[in-house]
Structure 1
């Protein structure tokens, strides 16, 4: 199956970065899938089948046609931002702002702890350090995520990775998750990369802040 993921990408004329973005994973994670070092998750399989019209039988066995219908890349094209040659992305401390809500509501007045300079990056509003292992091994505690703030849950692309603030009994819970549709009206499903974390459905009304994760930076050593 792993080699067939590469064939799909080649047939669509996508780079690894482009298909990885569509699947909501990193380029390194996609490379591991294509080389057989990692398995294709059920979530990624569903994206290939449901959004790109890949024939599930062909994906499993290699028999039949690659696609059930012409692949629709409309949503992918709409969410692919033009990259900037160079930008200074402010890095904020959540501890210093008491959470995402005050950060997003008063970001222009807050002083960043530093700035991140990465060439050819999509437009980002800011960056923060993350805590927790729900997205491990894609992200780990201490990594930096660069985000683009959203103002409406209707702007969400299902299956992408988001930075969220959720109200739990009056307290703010900040997390990074994949957002998927829920069968329950007024709810969304939050999905982790780490298989030890169960999927969780939350009321849309409890989401207090929302941002699309555009990129991540990992610190392999502090020395």
Structure 2
């Protein structure tokens, strides 16, 4: 069944059904229900899946023959996930600076003048979309998609008021009573004018609506790295 193979691919990528459906602008539960009930997935949606997830082997998806991934690279000791828009272009090779948020005192000064800060290292992963930098994440609001200690690679958004792609994952700096709060969330439209809704992957975290002008720095999450250590 094609739907069963879609489920296997989602599991192999380590993403949730919610994130997968969200990335395809599909209604929530539409794909997860098809996988669970072993029902067919429409051809239009399959085209969207193959266009969005370019590492997925179309022959394997449709027939079950061959390998799941077109380029099945195994990164020793780590898992890399890319979160790409349809407008993204892969960069064959780039050096992505990895910053220590504590050393740079937050996203606002980092985004204002990143040349003033020395990165702790550089990350080189081929065929990712263009990234401006990378930081370690803390907290469990995006678990299991992200966990504390993972690295996220991001693209800065300069025009916060007009540059949001609704439903995508963002790294945000929020002003809460004069203090900076840094988090990773999905951003959705809010009912109240001038507000946005912050949505967690972790269902134990409630959605929160905040004023858009409280967002002081914003970056679109483009990829993540999880290091798997053997103990």
TM-score normalised by structure 2 residue count: 0.70
- Unpaired runs of 5+ residues, structure 2, are 52-83
CA contact under 8 A between 2:3 and 2:40: conserved in structure 1? Answer: no
Question: Moved runs in structure 1, 4+ residues, more than 6 A?
Answer: 57-61, 63-68
* 1:47 is the counterpart of 2:55: no
Q: Is the 8 A contact 2:190 2:209 kept in 1?
A: yes
Listed as ranges, the matches of 1:15-30 within 5 Å are 28-30=13-15
1:74-223, aligned counterparts within 5 Å?
79-153=86-160, 154-221=162-229
Number of equivalenced pairs: 193
User: Which whole-Å CA distance do the structure 1 matches of 2:19 and 2:230 have between them?
Assistant: 35
Q: Judging changes above 3 Å, is the alpha-carbon distance between structure 1 residues 87 and 191 closer, same or farther for their aligned structure 2 residues?
A: same
Aligned counterparts of 1:172 and 1:42: Cα–Cα separation in 2: 27
Tell me how far apart the structure 2 counterparts of residues 139 and 109 of structure 1 sit (CA, whole Å): 28
C-alpha deviation, 1:184, in angstroms? 0.8
SS state of the match for residue 87, structure 1? coil
Compared CA separation, residues 210 and 5, structure 1 to 2 (3 A) = farther
Deviates further, 153-162 or 196-205:
153-162
Change (3 A) 1:4 1:220: closer
**1:205 alignment partner, SS class:** helix
Q: Check conservation: 1:147, 1:212, Cα contact below 8 A.
A: yes
Q: Which has the higher contact order (CA 8 A, sep 6+)?
A: 2
Give per-residue Cα distances to partners, 1:83-128, cap 9 Å, x unaligned.
Answer: 1111110000100011000010010121101100101111100000
Q: Which runs of 5+ in 1 are unaligned?
A: 8-15, 21-25, 31-37
Structure 1 residues 181 and 27, CA, compared in 2 at 3 Å: closer, same or farther?
A: farther
Aligned CA RMSD, in angstroms, stands at: 3.7
Q: Cα offset for 1:44?
A: 3.0
Aligned mates of 1:109, 1:143 — CA distance in 2: 24
Shift in Å at residue 146 of structure 1?
0.3
